[in-house]
Structure 1
Amino acid sequence: MELHSGKGPTPLLDRQLIAVKPITVPTADRGVDLQVKVTAPVDGGNLPVIVFSHGNAWSMDGYQPIVDRWAAAGFVVVQPTHLDSRRHDIGLDDPRFATIWRVRIADLHAVLDGLSDILDHIGGLTTRVDHDRVTAVGHSWGAQTAGALLGARVFDTEGNPGEDFSHPAVKAGALIAATGTGDTLTPFALKYLPFARPDFSTMSAPALVIAGGKDQSAMSTRGPDWFTDAYHLSPGPKRLLTIAEGEHLFGGISGEAAKDTTDENPARVVLVADAVSAYLHEVLSADAESWQALQDQIRHSAGAFNTESK
């Protein structure tokens, strides 16, 4: 158990947080224990929940810069470690890799179905959580995973939409750098990631889509607009935030000084974190002022960005 007071660029992180890990979640036919980390404010009640799905190769120990800000903003954040984490050493050529996308979704279902038991590992937290305000958030591959809980499906190689993996507990979500449609996949993606064929037409739950104006993926022959498909091809209500100078890790959301960050920018990290929390507070609590306040406060420090809604 870890008790710490976050220190960040704004007074928001003066709120004291608590983090507990690892917590093992019961699963079947996974081969490796599903472990999660929970981060929460030490005070407050009626706390909403974010179940967060990490990007490829990361783990429950990543994304602390944004997770801590979400907890400081009043969320309980649950982070599972998926099978593709580096710590499990399952590479692209491993026969298990082709089905990890399904295991990822099953991981989130296991977390949601066992949420009360997970929160019981932190004394008194279960009674401080609002179980009617649960959300799913993900980055990159994690955005595809979270999107499935919001209603998105996966096309098979013949163009048929797959199963419905939505979860009734999930009221809204946020997709950060969500991969687009599969019609422009590169040869690499076609070989190793044939499941990267999302169908957003059924993703009806409210969601914020965050895209980087300089996020050029090696998985698609399209440009950065590929990462806006989750907004343009899904039914409303949705909101799109495009950060003009943002690349795939948006300034370093996966960790401070992470070697795969190509656009180191702490202000951009704050923008992504606070945009998610402001949007979810608005959807869950009808707090329309949070989003406007966010734009007014960080427009100049975070660089150019624009929003759309439907």
Structure 2
Amino acid sequence: MRAHDHALVGTAKEIPINTATAVYTFSPVVLPIADRVKELEVKVNFPVTGEDLPIVILSHGQGRSNHLNSLEGYTPLAEFWAAHGFVVLQPSHLSGTYYSLPSTKGQELHWQDRSRDIIRVLDGLDGIEAAVPALKGRLNKAQIAVAGHSLGAWTAAIALGAKNVSPADGSVTNLADARIKAGVILTGTGKAGDDLSEMGHRMVPFYGPDFSEMKTPVLVVCGDEDVSPHLTWRGADWHADPYHLSPGPKDLLWIKGAKHGLGGISGWDTQETQDESPQRLAAVQRLTTAYLRSALYAGDKSWEEATKALAQHAELGSVESKK
């Protein structure tokens, strides 16, 4: 973990955060899965010190990169969360350029297998712990969150209780897992049907979201300039649908000036990030960490303190909540 903040984090430094510690990264842990075309590879990030550590499973997005759509991506989030008290597990999904595997009709982008990867990681926690000597006996397997960005946000949403109703045949995919106590949806996807653009219908023909039973506490993070015409004719508000269309408790965080990359969460200085900003990234890092700490550490007040600080800095963003 870096010993100090980037010089350009600006007022994001006013959002309080617990003291960071150094981070170990162990990669890959390989989980043999009988019904998967490839073994499941997982990167493990965790703090050097601390016991009874909550777990966050982080699902990568798709994008156009050669490496970020795998366990190699999202270092700015994974390392930060680990430095502030979490074991962060990053599976490589079959959809990534990392594998460049063909997909079948109805399973474009290996979307269903992506969500099954979350369950596979949960089922494999004992094996992951055994494979990483410095982690032995330090996991809190009762406190688990799932996070995801972009396509990974939909992956996470399904594990958090959202359902997919196939536009083709009406079949329902429901992979909610009660072991998951909280979630973070980063620039997620909204309503389908007439809300999708023509290209969106071609890109995600399988997509038919139903958020009405996503009851798990979730923080939905959106950029107020995240316009995605390749998927929807709507504006940035489309990405907030997982908040508005699901029951509480939910929190909605708008990041000021952010596009789909939220300041650079997928990797350091990447071309995919159209809104590169150390300040914006630092705000996302700190606020998501605060949310996760309050969701997974009993009695923790980090989210309350962070949102109070954010209210004094409208240039960073805003939060709304529902019970």
Please state if 1:126 is matched with 2:126. Answer: no
Shift of residue 29, structure 1, vs aligned partner: 2.9
| Contact residue 6 and residue 13 of structure 1 kept, 8 A | no
Identify the residue that residue 57 of structure 2 maps to in structure 1: 51
Identify the residue that residue 26 of structure 2 maps to in structure 1: 20
Q: Quick one: distance in 2 between partners of 1:25 and 1:8?
A: 35
RMSD: 2.1
| Contact residue 95 and residue 109 of structure 2 kept, 8 A | no
Question: 1:107-143: CA deviations, max 9, x gaps?
Answer: 1111000111112222141311111101101001101
The one-letter code of the counterpart of 1:294 is: A
Structure 2, unpaired ranges of 5+: 6-12, 64-68
Identify the residue that residue 95 of structure 1 maps to in structure 2: 104
Question: 1:162-207: CA deviations, max 9, x gaps?
Answer: 1320112111111000100102111222123112321100101111
DSSP-derived class of the 2:173 partner: coil
The 5 Å alignment of 1:154-193 reads 154-157=164-167, 160=170, 162-183=172-193, 184-193=195-204
The one-letter code of the counterpart of 1:179 is: T
| TM-score in terms of structure 2 length | 0.88
Identify the residue that residue 39 of structure 1 maps to in structure 2: 45
The one-letter code of the counterpart of 2:278 is: P
| Contact residue 59 and residue 82 of structure 1 kept, 8 A | yes
Shift of residue 87, structure 1, vs aligned partner: 1.4
Q: Quick one: distance in 2 between partners of 1:69 and 1:302?
A: 23
Please state if 1:139 is matched with 2:145. Answer: no
Q: Quick one: distance in 2 between partners of 1:62 and 1:273?
A: 15
Q: Quick one: distance in 2 between partners of 1:144 and 1:240?
A: 16
Among the aligned pairs, what percent are the same residue? 37
Identify the residue that residue 266 of structure 1 maps to in structure 2: 278
DSSP-derived class of the 1:21 partner: strand
Shift of residue 85, structure 1, vs aligned partner: 1.2
Please state if 1:71 is matched with 2:82. Answer: yes
Shift of residue 297, structure 1, vs aligned partner: 4.9
The one-letter code of the counterpart of 1:244 is: K
DSSP-derived class of the 1:225 partner: helix
| Contact residue 310 and residue 318 of structure 2 kept, 8 A | no
Q: Quick one: distance in 2 between partners of 1:223 and 1:192?
A: 18
| Contact residue 208 and residue 240 of structure 1 kept, 8 A | yes
The one-letter code of the counterpart of 2:220 is: V
Q: Quick one: distance in 1 between partners of 2:70 and 2:118?
A: 14
Identify the residue that residue 220 of structure 1 maps to in structure 2: 232
Shift of residue 288, structure 1, vs aligned partner: 5.2
Shift of residue 286, structure 1, vs aligned partner: 4.3
Q: Which moved more, 1:254-263 or 1:163-172?
A: 163-172
The one-letter code of the counterpart of 1:80 is: P
The one-letter code of the counterpart of 1:54 is: H
Q: Quick one: distance in 1 between partners of 2:143 and 2:178?
A: 11
DSSP-derived class of the 2:120 partner: helix
| Contact residue 136 and residue 174 of structure 1 kept, 8 A | yes
The one-letter code of the counterpart of 2:37 is: G
Structure 1, unpaired ranges of 5+: none
The 5 Å alignment of 1:247-266 reads 247-266=259-278
Q: Quick one: distance in 1 between partners of 2:245 and 2:4?
A: 36
Please state if 1:229 is matched with 2:209. Answer: no
Shift in CA distance, 263/164, structure 1 to aligned 2, threshold 3 Å: same
Identify the residue that residue 62 of structure 1 maps to in structure 2: 73
Question: 1:261-291: CA deviations, max 9, x gaps?
Answer: 0001112112212222211221223445312
Q: Quick one: distance in 1 between partners of 2:318 and 2:310?
A: 12
Shift in CA distance, 89/32, structure 1 to aligned 2, threshold 3 Å: same
Aligned residues: 304
